Amino acid sequence: MFAVLALCVSLSHLANGHGVLTWPPNRQNGSMANAGACAWDDCVWYSDFVTIPGEATVNDEEFRTFNVKVSTGPGDWSRKNPWRAPGTAKVFGSGCGVYGGREDFVLGSSGRLQGFFPPGVNGLELPAKSPTVWPKGSTQEVAWAITANHGGGYSYRLCPKGENITEECFQKTVLRFVGDKQWLIYGNVTQMGDSIGYELPQLELPLKVIRNGTFPAGSEWARNPIPSCLMFDQAQCEGLPRDQYISCAQAASGYDVVVCPPNWVQFPEPFPGLSGHVPYWRSHLGPDVPQWINLMGGEQGNPPMSRGFPISIMDLVKVPEDLPEGEYLLSWRWDCEQSS
Ligand SMILES: *[C@@H]1O[C@H](CO)[C@@H](O)[C@H](O)[C@H]1NC(C)=O
Ligand SMILES: *[C@@H]1O[C@H](CO)[C@@H](O)[C@H](O)[C@H]1NC(C)=O
Ligand SMILES: *[C@@H]1O[C@H](CO)[C@@H](O)[C@H](O)[C@H]1NC(C)=O
Ligand SMILES: *[C@@H]1O[C@H](CO)[C@@H](O)[C@H](O)[C@H]1NC(C)=O
């Protein structure tokens, strides 16, 4: 009757950019209150420098998130990045993310880490949180938040807890989305010292799901609904050494502009003004909590400023009716388009 889930989270495919599963509770500590602030490095469990092995299948502008009007020729700089053939890029570790993005940690991966773990730790090794119970055949809420917006899209998958936990196992049970809507939900935003996030409106928007050209065949992936900025064409960064390339790409997508200039966005905004790369907000996190902004040498303040998006992107997924009863791990995989 019940499928019990203990949760892990898998992030993938970011070069110096990050996000986190925020619902249900998970090993990496992501939460809807903290949203994209990357508290306790919750956004650094991923795979870095991974590209698609074959040709791009996501070429249609409707599902693209960076350089959306270019899908051929030398100007198509994202053609080898994971979102261009969702699910085909190799990931490191067990499908639960790897601290710092690499098993063989190299300089220039991930940017910076706060050092709670040695680089390369498998997310599966983190202590489990209390399990969440999902009845078979039910519809459930899942959510994630963006720290650095590298576009792309994502899927949710299950692997039986008793099996060898691998990316391949998660690929056998990719969950389907329910309905044609998704929701943006604010985290614990504060203003003048008061928590106001939970009073802010939940925003409903159309869900864009892609099933064609995905791996495994027919698996469902949702497009990231929030556009990054378009300050200049990232093609101008091609050929630079790795570290300069990353800085150039970040500038191309508006790393420090706070909000994108009107219409300087990668694709149309779902709501006016809702776009950005790594925005700023005032969260409830005190100066004792390490978060993304500390890493980047930003001003801490008291309370400190947070960086990343203050919202979670919530979807509904279907727990398969024919799933055998038991304990499972849930993995969320985000394939980016701006980076590899
Ligand atoms: C989760 O947060 C707690 C503090 O609330 C911290 O002690 C722990 O190390 C964090 N776990 C991970 C995986 O970062
Ligand atoms: C699926 O995508 C392939 C190429 O990516 C295309 O040739 C085919 O027409 C698409 N099929 C549908 C039903 O959209
Ligand atoms: C379990 O998975 C790991 C990869 O995560 C692999 O190296 C190992 O060979 C697998 N073991 C078995 C028994 O399949
Ligand atoms: C939200 O922030 C307030 C402080 O501003 C705090 O008291 C409260 O516990 C936070 N709620 C959550 C769910 O983190």
Is residue 90 included in any domain, yes or no? yes
- Write down the pLDDT at residue 18: 84
DSSP 27-87: TT---TTTGGG-GGGTT-EE--S---SS------GGG--SSTT--SSTT-TTTTSGGGSTT
Is residue 205 included in any domain, yes or no? yes
Number of domains in the chain: 1
Ligand nearest to the CA of 288: 1
User: What average pLDDT score do residues 133-139 get?
Assistant: 94
CA distance 47 to 95: 10
Task: Output the CA–CA distances (angstroms, integers) from residue 29 to 121, 122, 226, in the order listed.
Answer: 15, 15, 23
**Furthest-apart CA pair in the chain: how many Å?**
55
Is residue 265 included in any domain, yes or no? no
pLDDT in tens, 71-111: 999 999 999 999 999 999 999 999 999 998 888 766 666 55
Report the atom number in ligand 2 closest to the C-alpha of 59: 5
- Write down the pLDDT at residue 14: 37
Length of the chain: 340
- Domain carrying residue 108: 2-229+276-335
CA distance 291 to 279: 14
125: CB partners within 8 A, 6+ apart = none
What DSSP element (H or E) covers 299?
Answer: none
pLDDT greater than 70 at residue 126: yes
- For residue 177, the CA-to-ligand 3 centroid distance in Å is 29
pLDDT greater than 70 at residue 180: yes
Phi and psi at residue 111, to the nearest 5°: 75, -110
User: What average pLDDT score do residues 227-256 get?
Assistant: 93
- Write down the pLDDT at residue 189: 96
- Write down the pLDDT at residue 9: 52
Is residue 244 included in any domain, yes or no? no
Report the atom number in ligand 4 closest to the C-alpha of 303: 5
- Write down the pLDDT at residue 299: 61
pLDDT greater than 50 at residue 254: yes
Is residue 134 included in any domain, yes or no? yes
SS (H, E, C) 132-178: EEEECCCEEEEEEEECCCCCCEEEEEEEECCCCCCHHHHHCCECEEC
pLDDT greater than 60 at residue 2: no
Is residue 262 included in any domain, yes or no? no
- Write down the pLDDT at residue 53: 97
Is residue 243 included in any domain, yes or no? no
Percent of the chain at pLDDT above 90?
75
Report the atom number in ligand 4 closest to the C-alpha of 194: 5
pLDDT band at 296 (very low <50, low <70, confident <90, very high): low
Omega of the bond leading into 24 within 30 degrees of 0 (cis): yes
Nearest to 315 by CA among 225, 216, 228, 214: 225
- Write down the pLDDT at residue 240: 93
- Write down the pLDDT at residue 279: 94
- Write down the pLDDT at residue 175: 97
pLDDT in tens, 43-55: 999 998 899 999 9
- Write down the pLDDT at residue 106: 65
User: What average pLDDT score do residues 58-63 get?
Assistant: 98
340 CB near ligand 3 (under 6 Å) = no
**Which parts of 222-340 fold into alpha helices (H)?**
242-252, 292-295
pLDDT band at 16 (very low <50, low <70, confident <90, very high): very low
- Write down the pLDDT at residue 8: 55
Is residue 256 included in any domain, yes or no? no
